[in-house]
Chains A and B, each alone.
Chain A
Amino acid sequence: MKIIYKTVLFLAIPVLMTGFAGCKKFLDTKSSTATSDGAVLKNVTQLNMVLNSAYKKLYFNNGGADRAYSGLAGLQMYVDLGGADILSHTNMGGNQVTSYTFEPTRTQITGNSDAIWSMMYKTINQVNAIITALPNADGGAEEKAQIMGQAKAIRAVCYFHLIQNYQQTYVLAKNKPGVILRLSANDPVSMPRSSVEACYQQIVTDLRDAKALLANFQRQNKWTIDKNVISGQLARVYLVMNDWPNALAEATTAYNAYSQLMTREQYRSGFDKVITKAYPEIMWAMKYTETDNIGGSTQFNFWYNQDEKYGEGFTDGPIYAFLSFFADGKYEQLFEKTEDRYQFWKRTKNASQEWSTKWAYDKYKHYGDANGAVQGNTRPEVSLMRGSEMLLIMAEAAAHSGGDALTYLNRLQRARGVTAVTTAAGGSELLEAIYVERRKELLCEGVTGFYDLLRLQKPLLRYQETATYREGHYTWGVNQLNGYIASSAQPSGTLLSNDYRFISQIPQLEMTNNEALKASDQNPFSGQ
């Protein structure tokens, strides 16, 4: 009897305890750190946090590819390394080198082509979540407008980079396939490429919507997009579209708010404190901080720009400098030795001729902030848009539409201490002068480089170093281009205008996983 009683007890305890363990609750678990999507999408405050994170993706590409692909600041390297004015040593291998050399491996299979694609679409789909959810979310109309305006502006910035990197320039490729236009969180997983024309229309629409939504928005800092940044962005877009009146109008609007150009001292002290030192012409800028940074992978680390007194090794200076970037000899020749922007010198004490013969350039320098430690942290600030660029857009747009281009151009030249300012009143001579000025003023700000080569349909032309011209391009910057003959007196390499080697291929993982894309939708690897 006792045993039977115990048996029943023993059998009953687990059955009961299973129940008390909370039957359903026992199997209900969830992350201690994540927030459910339902909660996020119905609340404006939470959607504003989604916007913060979208900015972070845009500026840092956190979780994505590094260096030349680390957000807008990294892309500045990528765009200009594809031009003729920067040399990259191979000392520190990585994507900044392949950007420079036009490595033939930069195809869909090696992963290089997916960096920009991924970075932009991850940002786009994140702001699409905001744009789709915002109308039905709880919150005030004013706050909603601010969030919607910034979200649309971010989307436009992303599409503008995408379309410049994945198809030839607007004026000759309007009807070619552009990129995939994803505009809503409810879009299907697989979608085809839209035309270049449709992409630009969307970019303009988004920016115009955003400008209206942010008409009364006062931003708190330089990294938030406001109406003036949007005007500047519209000016860039219209410039590519050759819509000169609109380009002029938008650039003028933006310039008028940021017309006080940097002084000689400001320019020469380097671009690493553009926010902290409150340079008035800075319209849009981001910063690296202790919590948000990409370690030693900024362009400030790649420029061989440190003070010679520190020594010639990459562990000698106040930052971990990779001794990678130099300015091209032909580029150096564009400058007057007395103008503000002339900051070139040679590293003659370096034992290697590969370094000692090249022009170091001091526009980007940063001495770390680790309390003066020999190896400090690279935490610079990066300008993303400034008044000078607007002035140059105004000059170019005016030159095409009969405005007073020379005045705008000379204004900048005089502000930079150029003595022999441009005098050509119009025609290609003036346009060429404006282009040269863009290169001199905006090097490595991500708006000239191969973007200008595509936009202006110019070829890339690089001259290799020779025994008599030692400050020229490294062999590896020339020998993978067209027309390279090692034995010629002055070897050079070129890519014809609009060559698809400037353009990225659609990434392999997109081709495989997007059922709306056929093999024929792929960009050619090279050729016009």
Chain B
Amino acid sequence: MIFYTKSLCRPLAAIAKISLMINPVFSRLSEVNKNKWIMRINLIVVLLTSAILQVSAATYGQNVTLKHDRVKLATVLNEIRKQTGVDFVFSDKIIAAARPVSINVANVSLEAALEECFKNQPVTFTIDHKMVTIEKRPVSFLGMDQLIIARLTGTVKDTDGLPLPGASIAIKGTSKHVITDAEGKFVLDGAQKGDLIVITYVGFVPQEIAWNGEGPLNVKLASTVQGLDDVIVVAYGTAKKSTFTGSVAVVGADKLSKIAGSGFAEALQGMGSGVNVTNNEGNPGGDTRIQIRGIASMSGASKPLYVVDGMPYDGQLNSISPSDIESISVLKDAAASSLYGSRAANGVVMITTKKGKSSKPQINFRSAWGTSDNAVGNPVKANPAEQLLYTWEGMYNDQFYKYGMTKAKAGDWASGNVLGKILKAVNNSAGQPSYVSPFKHINENYVLHDGNGNPYLNPNLQMVWNPSDYDVNDAVYSRKLRQDYGLDISGASSDGKTNYLFSGSYLDDKGFASNQYFKRYTFRTNVTTQATDWLQLGGNIAYSGSRQNSSGSMRAQIFTTTMSSPWLRNVDNTDWVYSEKTGERMFDYGSYINNFFGIHPLNNGGDYWNNPNDEDFNNNQRNMISTRFFANVKLPFDLNFRSSLGIDNNSTKQFLYGSAVHGSGQMAPYGLTVLTSGGNATRNNTDVTSLTWNNLLTWNKKFGDHSFSALAGQELYNNNLLYNNAYGEGIMQIGQFELNSTTKNWSNGSFRDRFSLSSYLGKVDYNFQDKYYLSASFRADGSSRFHPDNRWGSFFSAGASWRISNENFIKDVNWINNLSLRGSYGTNGNDKLTTRNADGSPGGEILYAYEGVYEDDPMYGNPGLRPSALATPNLKWESNKQLNVAVDFTIFKGITGSVEYYTRNSSGLLFQKPLPLSAQAGSVVGLNTNLGNIRNSGIEVALGAELIRSKDFSWKIDANISTLKNEVTYLPAGAFTFSNRAATYKLEEGHSIYDFFMVKNAGVNPDNGNMRYWVQDGSGGWKTTENYAEVTTKDYQYGGSALPKAYGAVTNSFDWAGFDLSFMFYYSLGGKMFDYGYIERTALRGGVGVIPDLVQDRWKNPGDQAKFPKWSNDNYSDTRRGSDFYVFNNSFLRLRNLTLGFTLPKEVSKKLGMSSARIYLAGNNLLTFGAAKNRFSDPETGVLGNNYNGNADTDNGVQGSRRIYMGGIQVSF
């Protein structure tokens, strides 16, 4: 072990020491017969227990009165002992096999009471004098009243009456078992009266029935959804929900399947309390923002850790097919997540993929077809006449109000110049000056006026247009087909030792805008086998390939008016100009207008794989190979060893092409002529391989009422990224899009990045009588991101819960079915230093934060170096202290719920503290430090109620609400303001990290139509000003936080006669949004189409009480200064999902050769309520609450969330 360094290997040495200590025990053990040794221990336990219970007899013969509901047999026997004085002899092992007893007898004999107690029990009793001996009911023993029953038949159905094919029926204590057929029927030979029949089916609550020997056994199994005894996936293992001390939100496959998103992350919205999901990209395959219990970093980064089948997952979330997912657990508090140590600072999302269930192979096929549009409708732009008149008005205002012309002269000036403001003069084919627009050109002013400031359209003008040719939204958006298919085959070998699942899926979502699409193929294999008694092996291999076209809507759409078409007119305005290659219309790159945005709104309409019209494209192709392997070894002393290896490989290739044919220099013959400078091509390739290897030793043991489990383990993680890119220009061939065709101006680049973690972890759980639970965990992480001296961080958690409902004093309260209290405290950390962009959004991660380095910065081909990071060897882990208290309950049998309160105090946050500008050098703008504290706290309530449950009809409601208070509690560098497009924020102690901080608007001055602002008057008061120059930061005031105060969802589900209906409303309350889109939609601005629906309430004449200031044509920006005028309350309610399904009656589906069949219709985001919608803005924004469409973070600025309509079938064979 000499190669170990001191700091790293200390925990390692400790483990080595433990294994050395164990070794002598093993060696001693091996000398004797191990089985004998264990038997001896059991005997001792039996003797001890018996001794305790063998108290002397008192009043044998006395009658017994008992009243218990589902208590342990031992408890009842103890009661009988007290009442009668008889002694009982039994061993723990035997009594442990007994079922809980419900008994209500009064004044009966001992024998009768015992008969009642032991009814349906796998154990029986004999009375000998004053001694009652309890022993295992002999299976082969034929009592006088027991007869061999040759055949037991029956059916297994779910609570809706649907047969469950593949359910397992076994006789407890024997190896006899059968599987139900397609109709849920089974035939089991060799059962006896009194046998315990165990019926199991994955996903349903198992049942044990003592067979009374009569008739067919008809069993209904209840689904385990959200049940107390559900096994949930937690860090490094599973736990029963009822015993778990941590906070976890679990979402099952049935819920996930209702959202027709590209990935599971979209579907998580509203599904669990404490999990805030924002679908801030409406394009297919777009990313989703997930925050678990707030934001705990100065940079605003809140990305949780994703764990797939027990291993951290680094790939694209959209690479995983949602239909492959069995369940998702979101770990929220320290007790749940602390085992992930440094990586759990923002919570953990654990994804478990489906596995084979029944021994009868099950084939599921599903397909869905649908289409989509925008959840919030697009505004209608002013028609050409309106656009001319609006522009005239702004020009007139400038001349009359601002520059002092008379009304008549101002009108003349506006009439004479308005056309030139919008359109560019061209010479028609006859050489005469002309204008190309939706109007037939006349040599007169297009807009006339009455000399009094009132314009009107020249009556001689004639329209030469079809409105749809001039509607840019119509050109960009169209409903297209969305298809989704999935097939999986799963099962288990007849001995139950091997289970398998094979699945495949295909998604083709063509989106709503332009040529965008997301196509994904996935394949997955999941096999687990019990190779020998002591060895279990398993593996899981998934491949996913996707192709995406990133074209879509963009800001260029806003910068168009109906005065020009997206397509090119000929110069005589008589026809379109067509491509001679494809016959498609050519695009107009601002040939006839003065305010071309620079990018065509139909930009990127091409596609790498199919580009007949030689258009620009932006595509990417992703491939994921994700593998998980494990070996599980059963060891003596209830020990279990598991070694797991996970390898993920994700590669992304981006394909960009700038057209060689289409562009502002396009020439005749159109579509066949290459631009003088040709086309260009870019390729960006990223390949990330991450590897996780962990080794876990677990131990489970029960001593009487005491249950222990413990885990110790070690984990290695490594992430390796390879990147390269290349660019070239001068593609002079049509139909060629590769770099090989480029001829000049090449550039390229590449780099590699690696980071790694080495970890040791341990956990202990303790449970007493299923009433008291304690848990504690520990993890030590060494991170490559820190200097060797500060590399290691330790994280711990402790949790406890108390199942009050198992206490005697509350047992008799009928309406309380379950009540438990739980609490936890613990830490986790973070080693990811994410920079904060100047606009306040999260930037990139710094992987080598402690090193001082220079980066390449060549000039004119000569090598150059500039400082890029200052050395900060003292940088260390940030810490996150979490407290969670909760109460869980089930009352009146049908109402379940939980209420939780949490705080998250994050301190020593990793942050790049900006240096004074005068101390910055090269690309160094800040010093990497541990700076500042943030506190998140909130209350989370989840409620579920089965309001009606009858044979034919059921109604369930699930609701959740989460509150969030985010507060910067310590900011040693002092408060500072930051701004992005027009919005300003301030980061200050006592406020959230995204608090708007802007000048307050004082409304429009009715006298002159200028906007007014509140500024300090210098003597402690406030005054208004129309001069924005007077506004300084000291006049700014807080305007609320971009983060919602509360969010959640309400889901209703109905079942009736084969029909199922469910709908979920998602809501978000109290957040603020800066509506940048609204600025552009309400302004009069060169090139921007006015939205008449929004701008009617504007100032036109002195005395007008108006919302919007006087329009100006030559100073657009002065009419739209940043202020709280554009900060709106962003509370909204969205019909996130509506599903109506119908399951074919059994007889019908059977005739069709299927075991079950369901057809359904579903819609996502069908309705949106809230103020944003009235402004044509989508309420789901980037984390900054600003919907400026300048980056991917806020894509919804133009496109918005999509509304998806789907219909489909689900068939099982």
Task: Decide yes or no whether B452 CB sits under 8 A from chain A.
Answer: no
Q: Are A486 and B745 in contact (CB under 8 A)?
A: no
Q: Are A93 and B871 in contact (CB under 8 A)?
A: no
Min CB distance, A37 to chain B, in Å?
4
CB < 8 Å neighbour of A35 from B693, B745, B853, B1117: B853
Q: Closest residue to B979 on the A side, CB-wise?
A: A111
Q: Closest residue to A323 on the B side, CB-wise?
A: B594
Q: Are A374 and B676 in contact (CB under 8 A)?
A: yes
CA gap between A4 and B785 in the complex, in Å? 39
CA gap between A510 and B23 in the complex, in Å? 64
CB < 8 Å neighbour of B1117 from A57, A93, A374: A93
- Proximity bits, B747-764, A CB within 8 Å = 1, else 0: 100011111111000000
Q: Are A122 and B420 in contact (CB under 8 A)?
A: no
- Proximity bits, B1020-1040, A CB within 8 Å = 1, else 0: 000000011110110000000
Q: Closest residue to B595 on the A side, CB-wise?
A: A91
CB < 8 Å neighbour of B677 from A108, A370, A476: A370
Q: Are B15 and A15 in contact (CB under 8 A)?
A: yes
CA gap between A107 and B1114 in the complex, in Å? 22
Residues of chain B from 116 to 159 with CB closer than 8 A to chain A in the complex? none
Task: Decide yes or no whether A278 CB sits under 8 A from chain B.
Answer: no
Q: Are B3 and A52 in contact (CB under 8 A)?
A: no
Residues of chain B from 405 to 422 with CB closer than 8 A to chain A in the complex? 416-417, 419-421
Task: Decide yes or no whether B855 CB sits under 8 A from chain A.
Answer: yes
Cβ of A352: which chain B residues have Cβ within 8 Å of it?
Answer: 417, 420-421, 594
Q: Are B664 and A27 in contact (CB under 8 A)?
A: no
Q: Are A37 and B974 in contact (CB under 8 A)?
A: no
Task: Decide yes or no whether A350 CB sits under 8 A from chain B.
Answer: yes
Q: Closest residue to B1087 on the A side, CB-wise?
A: A91
CB < 8 Å neighbour of A126 from B16, B783, B858, B921: B921
Given A34-B868, A312-B425, answer yes or no on A374-B714 (Cβ-Cβ < 8 Å). no
Q: Closest residue to A114 on the B side, CB-wise?
A: B917
Cβ of A458: which chain B residues have Cβ within 8 Å of it?
Answer: none
Task: Decide yes or no whether A141 CB sits under 8 A from chain B.
Answer: no
Min CB distance, A74 to chain B, in Å?
16
Listed residue (B5, B855, B862, B867) with the most chain A CB atoms within 10 angstroms of its CB: B867
Given A291-B747, A373-B665, answer yes or no on A18-B859 (Cβ-Cβ < 8 Å). no
CB < 8 Å neighbour of B855 from A34, A315, A353: A34
Min CB distance, A50 to chain B, in Å?
5
Q: Are A24 and B8 in contact (CB under 8 A)?
A: yes
Q: Are A189 and B915 in contact (CB under 8 A)?
A: yes
Cβ of A29: which chain B residues have Cβ within 8 Å of it?
Answer: 753-756, 784-785, 847-848
Given A3-B635, A27-B758, A32-B753, answer yes or no on A90-B1114 (Cβ-Cβ < 8 Å). yes
Residues of chain B from 849 to 880 with CB closer than 8 A to chain A in the complex? 851-869, 871
- Proximity bits, A94-132, B CB within 8 Å = 1, else 0: 000000000011011101001001100110011011000
Task: Decide yes or no whether A1 CB sits under 8 A from chain B.
Answer: yes
CB < 8 Å neighbour of B916 from A105, A476, A491, A513: A513
- Proximity bits, B957-1001, A CB within 8 Å = 1, else 0: 000000000000000011111010000000000000000000000
- Proximity bits, A431-444, B CB within 8 Å = 1, else 0: 00000000000000
Q: Are A40 and B1033 in contact (CB under 8 A)?
A: no
Min CB distance, B105 to chain A, in Å?
49
Q: Are B788 and A514 in contact (CB under 8 A)?
A: no
Task: Decide yes or no whether A137 CB sits under 8 A from chain B.
Answer: no
Interface size on B, residues (CB 8 A): 118
CB < 8 Å neighbour of A37 from B676, B852, B919, B1086: B852
Q: Are A315 and B865 in contact (CB under 8 A)?
A: no
Task: Decide yes or no whether B641 CB sits under 8 A from chain A.
Answer: yes
Task: Decide yes or no whether A257 CB sits under 8 A from chain B.
Answer: no
Q: Are A27 and B756 in contact (CB under 8 A)?
A: yes
Min CB distance, A68 to chain B, in Å?
17
Q: Are B853 and A34 in contact (CB under 8 A)?
A: yes
Task: Decide yes or no whether B402 CB sits under 8 A from chain A.
Answer: yes
CA gap between A50 and B730 in the complex, in Å? 33
Task: Decide yes or no whether A479 CB sits under 8 A from chain B.
Answer: yes
Q: Closest residue to B857 on the A side, CB-wise?
A: A53
Q: Are B866 and A292 in contact (CB under 8 A)?
A: no
Min CB distance, B680 to chain A, in Å?
11
Cβ of A527: which chain B residues have Cβ within 8 Å of it?
Answer: none
- Proximity bits, A451-463, B CB within 8 Å = 1, else 0: 0000000000000
Interface size on A, residues (CB 8 A): 109
CA gap between A325 and B979 in the complex, in Å? 29
CA gap between A57 and B1117 in the complex, in Å? 31
- Proximity bits, A369-388, B CB within 8 Å = 1, else 0: 01111111000000000000
Given A109-B977, A114-B917, answer yes or no on A26-B1 (Cβ-Cβ < 8 Å). no
CA gap between A121 and B915 in the complex, in Å? 12
Task: Decide yes or no whether A313 CB sits under 8 A from chain B.
Answer: yes
Task: Decide yes or no whether B840 CB sits under 8 A from chain A.
Answer: no
Stretch at the interface among A5-13, A198-206, A237-245, A390-398: A5-13
Task: Decide yes or no whether B1170 CB sits under 8 A from chain A.
Answer: no
Given A3-B636, A35-B865, A109-B1032, answer yes or no on A55-B419 (Cβ-Cβ < 8 Å). no
Q: Are B979 and A34 in contact (CB under 8 A)?
A: no
CA gap between A118 and B923 in the complex, in Å? 11
Min CB distance, B1027 to chain A, in Å?
7
Q: Are B918 and A117 in contact (CB under 8 A)?
A: yes
Min CB distance, B674 to chain A, in Å?
10
CA gap between A314 and B534 in the complex, in Å? 78
Cβ of A24: which chain B residues have Cβ within 8 Å of it?
Answer: 3-5, 8, 788
Given A109-B977, A129-B867, A315-B596, answer yes or no on A15-B12 (Cβ-Cβ < 8 Å). yes
Task: Decide yes or no whether B695 CB sits under 8 A from chain A.
Answer: yes
CA gap between A354 and B417 in the complex, in Å? 9
Residues of chain B from 658 to 705 with CB closer than 8 A to chain A in the complex? 663-665, 675-677, 693, 695, 697
Min CB distance, B413 to chain A, in Å?
9
Task: Decide yes or no whether A402 CB sits under 8 A from chain B.
Answer: no
Min CB distance, B593 to chain A, in Å?
8
Cβ of B921: which chain A residues have Cβ within 8 Å of it?
Answer: 121-122, 125-126, 128-129
Cβ of A35: which chain B residues have Cβ within 8 Å of it?
Answer: 853-855, 865
Min CB distance, A465 to chain B, in Å?
10
Q: Are B29 and A4 in contact (CB under 8 A)?
A: yes
Task: Decide yes or no whether B826 CB sits under 8 A from chain A.
Answer: no
Q: Are A37 and B590 in contact (CB under 8 A)?
A: no
Residues of chain A from 177 to 218 with CB closer than 8 A to chain B in the complex? 179-180, 182, 187, 189-191
Min CB distance, A380 to chain B, in Å?
15
CB < 8 Å neighbour of A373 from B421, B677, B757, B851: B677
- Proximity bits, B830-852, A CB within 8 Å = 1, else 0: 00000000000000000110011
Cβ of A520: which chain B residues have Cβ within 8 Å of it?
Answer: none
Task: Decide yes or no whether A135 CB sits under 8 A from chain B.
Answer: no
CA gap between A182 and B788 in the complex, in Å? 33
Q: Are A15 and B919 in contact (CB under 8 A)?
A: no
CB < 8 Å neighbour of B23 from A8, A14, A292, A476: A8
- Proximity bits, A485-512, B CB within 8 Å = 1, else 0: 0110001000000000000000111101
CB < 8 Å neighbour of A125 from B5, B636, B847, B919: B919
Task: Decide yes or no whether A277 CB sits under 8 A from chain B.
Answer: no
Task: Decide yes or no whether B809 CB sits under 8 A from chain A.
Answer: no
Given A292-B859, A513-B915, answer yes or no on A27-B1114 (Cβ-Cβ < 8 Å). no
5 A-B contacts (beta carbon < 8 Å): A10-B641, A29-B753, A53-B857, A312-B425, A513-B974
Inter-chain pairs besides A180-B918, A315-B596, 6 sampled, C-beta below 8 Å: A14-B714, A15-B12, A93-B1117, A125-B919, A125-B922, A486-B404
Going nearest first, the 6 A-B pairs with the smallest beta carbon separation are A104-B1029, A374-B665, A125-B921, A373-B676, A351-B420, A53-B864
Query: B residues near A, CB below 8 A?
Result: 1, 3-5, 8-9, 12, 15-16, 19, 23, 26, 29-30, 398, 402-404, 416-417, 419-421, 423-425, 435, 534, 589-591, 594-596, 633, 635-636, 639, 641, 643, 663-665, 675-677, 693, 695, 697, 714, 716, 718, 730, 745, 747, 751-758, 782-785, 788, 791, 847-848, 851-869, 871, 914-923, 927, 973-977, 979, 1027-1030, 1032-1033, 1086, 1114-1115, 1117
